[in-house]
Structure 1
Amino acid sequence: MVIKYATKEDIAAIAAVEAECFPPAEAATEKEFVDRVKYYGNHFWLMYEAEKLIAFVDGFVTDEPDLTDEMYEKATLHDENGAWQMIFGVNTIPAYRKHGYAGELIHRAIEDARKQGRKGLVLTCKDRLVHYYAKFGFADEGVSDKSTHGNAVWHQMRLTF
């Protein structure tokens, strides 16, 4: 397994994995990934097995303390010097789940954020995954009032260094 940051050559594979992992109302489009990779490709952690993208974690950096729906839509809001690493997606294609690959990528994102001097990381997740992210040190801040992405209920979780 190889972990690398995203480049424009990865966009089609990223969009395909996202479409396999999230319902259409929640999945980012290939066009959205073009902008995301352009503005913060170095905040995508991609895991490849040979030539196949099997998992990735992505999100941008901001001084805003809470994850909002607008952040998913506007890659230009990324601030490389921001205090918080947001996590927008944790994706592993179904055939590769339950092997720890997502966890390895989450650990890498945490390590990078720590090295970059961030205050920590913020993500949102559905109720059934709160316990999963808690294993990495994320604290549940309750149901988000700033994100209803895909018309879903999201818990905001924060890992503070």
Structure 2
Amino acid sequence: MSIRHAVPADVDTLADIEAASYPPAEGASRQSIAGRVAVYPDHFWLLEEDGGVKAFVNGLVTDQPDLTDAMYDDPHLHTPEGSWQMIFSVVTAPAHRREGCASRVLRQVCADAKDAGRRGVVLTCKERLIGFYARFGFVDEGVSASTHGDVVWHQMRLTF
């Protein structure tokens, strides 16, 4: 298995994995994923084996300390030299769940963000996933101002 960054040819695969992982109101559309890949492909980390994508993580970089709903749909809010790596999706293809794929990619994202001199990594998650992210050092900051997909999210932060 190896981790690489996205290219435009990955968009359909990424959209399929995203659609299989989130309810429609919460997941990114194919159009949204294509826009993100076009603007910040190096902020998509794909775990690949035998030419197939097993899992991926993506998000933009910004100087804003909190994840906002606008960030999901406007890839041009990406600030390449920003302080915070935001994470929008941590997803695993259904056939590869419970194999540690998401954990492996998330560890790489955090290491890359630290190596790039970021202040940390921010994501939102449902309450049931707080413990999962806490294992990586993320701290629950409480209910997020984000209401993406009309869901209650907890903002989690890993500060370096």
- TM (norm. structure 2) is 0.98
Q: For 1:21 and 1:48, how far apart are their aligned partners in 2?
A: 17
The one-character-per-residue Cα deviations of 1:103-159 (angstroms, maximum 9, x if unpaired) are 0100000010011000000000000000000000000000012x0111100000000
Amino acid at match of 2:77: L
Amino acid at match of 2:82: G
- TM (norm. structure 1) is 0.97
- 1:57 match: secondary structure: strand
Structure 2 matches for 1:19-58, cutoff 5 A?
19-58=19-58
1:53, distance to aligned residue in structure 2 (A) = 1.3
Q: For 1:130 and 1:78, how far apart are their aligned partners in 2?
A: 26
> What is the match of residue 63 of structure 1?
63
Q: For 1:99 and 1:16, how far apart are their aligned partners in 2?
A: 19
Structure 2 matches for 1:1-161, cutoff 5 A?
1-145=1-145, 147-161=146-160
- Tell me, which stretches of 5 or more residues in structure 1 are unaligned? none
- Tell me, which stretches of 5 or more residues in structure 2 are unaligned? none
1:102, distance to aligned residue in structure 2 (A) = 0.4
Which 4+ residue blocks in structure 1 deviate beyond 6 angstroms? Answer: none
Q: For 1:35 and 1:63, how far apart are their aligned partners in 2?
A: 20
Identity over aligned residues, as a percent?
52
- Give the total of aligned pairs: 160
Amino acid at match of 2:45: W
Amino acid at match of 2:88: F
